[in-house]
Amino acid sequence: MRRGDLSNAEWVRLKPHLPKSGRRGGRWVSHRRIINGILYRQRTGVPWRDLPTRFGPWKTVYERHRRWSADGTWDKVFAAILADADAEGRIDWSMVSVDSTSCRAHQHAAGARRTAPRVQGKGARARPRQHRPDEGLGRSRGGLTCKIHLAGEGGRRPLAMLITPGQWGDAPQLIPVMERIRVSRLGGGHPRTRPDHLGGDRAYSSRRIPHHPRTEEPAGQPPAPGQQGRPARWLRQDDLQAQERS
């Protein structure tokens, strides 16, 4: 095992949630080696064709990553990891922060196809069962950009993510990001969706946000001192800094 590869403990957690080789045809190459190749590429940023040979053929690594992105496998793995972490008490629900960052798109993205990609399966023209609709690409002052909106818990673990075109504002995307927070409970029951407090910077200072069901104060809990203008659940970054100074 080299630096950046999956450890034995991490592989034990991931293996039950990965697809199994049960279809006709050749058997899949080891998922562990393929995931290590995907992690190497994401960590270093090298082109797919420049992957080291120890991960196998680069096209095999690329096709596996593309297939799992299209059919929702990565989303299922992410949800399973969050459920395990919540069951072990490793998710800090006391404070969830929301923010965004803009990413410059590659120049080749301007000519990308707008239709869902083909995948191997039922016929030569098969389409993925679930294709990501959030591959946002917009034009802002920085050129062709996309924006990543992320909600993270107190332990800096991501809970939900939304990708939009780069020119979209932060405040209108707060509620869609919060609606994506759904952490399943291993013992059954409704998934957990609401944190105790929500934090954000001035980009989320819309008047409509504190009165939305996702951010409003629970019944029976009056606003905290200094927060009478909006519910105590909605704490902006400047409010948190003022509380720390006091």
- Evaluate the CA torsion angle 143, 132, 155, 38 in order and state its sign: negative
Q: How far is it, in rounded angstroms, from Cα 17 to Cα 37?
A: 18
Q: What type of residue is 60?
A: T
Model pLDDT for residues 88-123, shown as the tens digit of each residue: 999 999 889 999 998 887 766 666 555 655 555 555
Within-domain flag for 34: yes
- pLDDT exceeds cutoff 90 at 202: no
223 secondary structure, DSSP code: P
pLDDT at residue number 20: 80
Distance (Å, whole) CA 42 – CA 122: 30
Is position 150 within any domain?
no
Q: Residue 43: inside a domain, yes or no? A: yes
Residue 148 in any domain: the answer is no
In a domain? residue 153:
no
pLDDT band at 140 (very low <50, low <70, confident <90, very high): confident
pLDDT score, position 54: 92
Instruction: Report the number of distinct structural domains present in the chain.
Output: 1
Checking if the pLDDT of 83 tops 70, the result is yes
Work out the mean pLDDT of the chain and round it to a whole number: 77
Residue 101 belongs to some domain of the structure: no
Domain of 38 in residue numbering reads as 1-16+29-71
For the whole model, what pTM was predicted? 0.71
Range of lowest pLDDT (33-47, 70-84, 105-119): 105-119
pLDDT mean over 70-87: 90
- Position 119 in a domain: no
Q: What percent of the chain has pLDDT over 90?
A: 30
In a domain, 205, yes or no: no
Mean pLDDT of 3-31: 80
| Arithmetic mean of pLDDT, 130-146 | 68
The one-letter code for the residue type at 246 is S
